[in-house]
Amino acid sequence: MTLPHWTGPLLQVNFTELLEVSDPVLIAVVGILLMFSLLSFTIIFSKLGGFRRARRANTRFLKAFRKSARLDAMAAAVEQFRAAPLVTVFDFGYSELSRQLSTRSKLTNLVALERSLQMGISEEITRLERNMNWLATTAAVCPFIGLFGTVLGIIEAFNGLGTAGATSLRAVGPGIAKALYATAFGLGAAIPAAIAYNYFNNGIKEMGQRLEDFSLEFLNVAERNTEG
């Protein structure tokens, strides 16, 4: 068997040989890290597409909302903007406003309307935060899982060194090199997850602020539409 060798700037890794000679614990560790990495990238690509669609839909909905003269007209056309997080806030606010108008034909409880809008904001933020815990867990745990595999691999390599009675680094080097793959896999899973978590977390904060701003705008429109 030949050890992985440098050819230019890239390290050439023979994964088939790695699986053939590595101990079961190292294989299990690498498998777990690959699972974490696969699920994390699935979440990352899903959220990238979701945030992109949400921003575009928000922009279209907000333009239509500001052009609409009345809330009931906007409510009739809201289904075409369903991908917009702002629509959830609108639905909560309009439902509460409709209940109040159906009893006394005017806005009677502004506090209740504000609470309904906050509930809409909370529901949408919760939806946007879905699976964020998985990214945080991947970023925090995978380096330690990789380090665990590396430590066990190094222990195994030195145990083999003692059993064979050899004293040269050549005898223990291959085992240590393979053990270090676990750390590399751990970092490879953790780093993208950490970057994505911070990116999406900032995006959620930005989206939350837009939802808060829209709730104030909705209150202004509701008061104007129910004056007198």
Is 38 within a domain?
yes
Alpha helix segments (H runs only) across the chain? 15-21, 24-67, 71-76, 85-104, 110-128, 132-164, 169-225
Domain count of the chain?
Answer: 1
Q: What residues pair up with 11 in beta bridges, in sequence order?
A: 6
State residue 204's pLDDT score.
96
Distance CA 204, CA 188 (A): 25
For the chain, what is the mean pLDDT? 84
Which domain covers residue 100, as residue numbers? 21-225
Distance CA 166, CA 173 (A): 12
Is 174 within a domain?
yes
Is 178 within a domain?
yes
State residue 166's pLDDT score.
56
pTM greater than 0.85 (yes/no): no
Residues of the chain with pLDDT under 50: 1-11
Backbone angles phi, psi at 12, to 5 degrees: -90, 115
State residue 32's pLDDT score.
94
Handedness of CA 211, 212, 217, 223 (dihedral sign): positive
Residue written as token pair 């990495």: 37
State residue 2's pLDDT score.
45
Is 204 within a domain?
yes
> Among residues 64, 66, 123, 68, which one has the least CA distance to residue 92?
123
Is 9 within a domain?
no
CA separation (Å) from 210 to 93, 136, 165, 166, 217?
15, 24, 68, 67, 10
State residue 19's pLDDT score.
53
State residue 23's pLDDT score.
72
State residue 208's pLDDT score.
95
Is 5 within a domain?
no
